[in-house]
Chains A and B, each alone.
Chain A
């Protein structure tokens, strides 16, 4: 079974540019999460999809961030326009629905550097 896949693994962009991160969850996992770790601090929650619906987006920092999960499969996280403080590692995770949903499987992350 393939794990959670994220790409690109690294991205370096200039301030003001747009970047789109992609996450392919484990097949059959209804729950998909985005997290971010900035500057060696704690990993923070951004948002949670259940299938194609946004269940919780309370962690999204501002309206420069847009997440989508069309068809309930892969998800994208777009940052537009990027700012210096957006630099960090963006993790995606997925889990099954229902009572099995206590364990989340993480991707390797996308390291975003805004210069």
Chain B
């Protein structure tokens, strides 16, 4: 069975500071990896995904994530936080074969201080 762990249910950074949201997964075979974001009163929006190839993946709004197989991690980063980045972020995995549903982490709420 797959599982996803997001360290830190709440993260607070200052505007302009580095954003680092942590995600570790457990899976017998490296899965597809995703980061979704939910802005207030909106649905889930895909930020970025890793399927194959280059392990550093760039997404929307300046975010990127690096797949590290040896560490079973897929941490999300952004060099400089903006007030508009305040939202809840979800890491998710999907098996490469078989079950097609996503398994989500518990989410990290990002607060950006002026």
User: Which A residues lie at the B interface, using CB under 8 A?
Assistant: 3-4, 31, 33, 35, 40-45, 48, 55-56, 59, 91, 93, 95, 101-109
Contact = CB atoms under 8 A, between A and B. Distances in A.
A102 B48 CA distance: 12
Interface of B: 4, 32, 34, 36, 41-46, 49, 51, 90, 92, 94, 99-107
Given A48-B100, A102-B32, A41 B106 contact: yes
B43 A48 contact: no
Given A4-B43, A107-B43, A33 B101 contact: yes
Contacts, number: 56
A15 B99 CA distance: 33
A31 B100 CA distance: 9
Contact of A103 (B46, B104, B105): B46
A108 B42 CA distance: 5
Contact of B51 (A4, A31, A102, A109): A102
